[in-house]
Amino acid sequence: MVILRGRSVWSGALGGIGLAAFLDETVFHQLLHWHHFYDGAGPTAGLVSDGFFHAFGFVAAVAGLFLLADLQRRRALVPRAWWAGLLLGLGGFQLYDGTVQHKLLHLHQIRYGVPLLPYDLVWNLVAVVALVAGAVLVRPRGA
Amino acid sequence: MSAGLQALPGLPLLLAATAYASAVRRLARRGDGWPRSRSLATAAALGLLAVAVLPPLAAHDEDLRAHVVQHLLLMVAGPLLLALGAPVTLTLRSLRTPSRRRLLALLHSPPMRLLVHPLTVVALDVGGLYAVYLTPVFEASEEQWWLHALIHAHMVLAGTLLAVVVAGADPLPGRPGVPMRLALVVATGAAHDVLARLLWTRGWGDAARLLAYGGEAADVAFAVAVLSAWYAAGGRELARSARRVATS
């Protein structure tokens, strides 16, 4: 049986990107109402970036799950590599959202009417921790 | 507008339904099957298109929310289901050999290849969308019934072209690979999302939100259609190689 380590990482990473986009949409936009649909600040570049963020996030989630199902059926999944990919995807996308989209492009902020610094720090710190954990896990055991 | 005129957009849909059903019957008479799932997809597609263009929904399309629902049915839901119904394969199978050859020659002709090129598909789909919603065309279409009809026809045709190239059940010469088709879904989905937010800044309110979230649901539906076909093809490949191992 062939073990597909690289594809396991990719499947996890796509799933992680999808999870980041999903959490952003459900938790921060819909449940907490912290994020705004569009606050009309920032340049058009932010709008385009956000459009890609949403579309890519949802498509990535679906692709990651189908890849996972395919790996399972071939018995080629490396669970550790998949989890590493998930953390890398989640952390990478969250860091991109927290730095480029929120700060550089001023698309919208994490929350309104509060001091932003603690929110920004926690948001990006969580992303960095996920990235580091993913980077540690992604190396094959014993290597 | 008179009741007769209001029902007029239903006519092409009725013709399409009749043509599809009679082709399936022709196949059945000579003993050939046709997957029921494809007939169901086509019936659902034509049903949703009918909901979009007939009263009561069409009578309220000065309400922006009703208009957005119409748009999502005409350009996304209807076309995706139409493409999953494999109408070209059905037509080819139901024709006699000389007509089938002529249709095949047309389908493989250079203009047709240009039409199904990813750039053409995106230009017609996204370009049409932006040209209508961000210019005075949209307001003018509320006054002129023929412009209105033209825009609806464009929505269905451009949406169907995208759906056929990205997720169609019909074989397509030179269809791009899975990553390129997913990239097309992301590109058109992103353009849709940007449009929704631009309309939000123009006071579309709930209608803009509906457009954005409907568009996201469409991205998921298209991705599922592309990847489930990929998954099924992989399953057939695995079964074939298992048989080869068993017989050798």
Q: What are phi and psi of B144, to 5 degrees?
A: -100, 115
The residue that leads in pLDDT, A103 or B29, is B29
**CA distance, residue B234 to nearest chain A CA (Å):** 8
Do A70 and B231 count as a contact with CB atoms less than 8 A apart? yes
Across A118-135, average pLDDT: 79
Neighbours of B224 (CB within 10 A): 18
Do A62 and B223 count as a contact with CB atoms less than 8 A apart? yes
Nearest-CA neighbor of A15 among A76, A60, A55?
A60
Burial of residue B120 (CB within 10 Å: 0-12, 13-18, 19+) is middle
Nearest-CA neighbor of B230 among B179, B163, B170?
B179
Task: For chain A, say whether B202 makes contact (Cβ under 8 Å).
Answer: no
In which domain, by residue range, is B63 found? 3-247
How many distinct structural domains can be found in chain B?
1
pLDDT at position B32, please? 92
Task: For chain A, say whether B232 makes contact (Cβ under 8 Å).
Answer: no
**One-letter-per-residue 3-state SS of B8-73:** CCHHHHHHHHHHHHHHHHHHHHCCCCCCHHHHHHHHHHHHHHHHHHCCCCHHHCCCHHHHHHHHHH
What is the mean pLDDT of each successive set of 10 residues along chain B, which is 248 residues long?
A: 71 94 94 94 96 80 83 93 96 92 92 91 91 83 81 92 94 90 94 87 84 91 95 92 84
**CA distance, residue B202 to nearest chain A CA (Å):** 11
Across A70-86, average pLDDT: 91
Report the greatest alpha carbon distance in chain A. Answer: 56
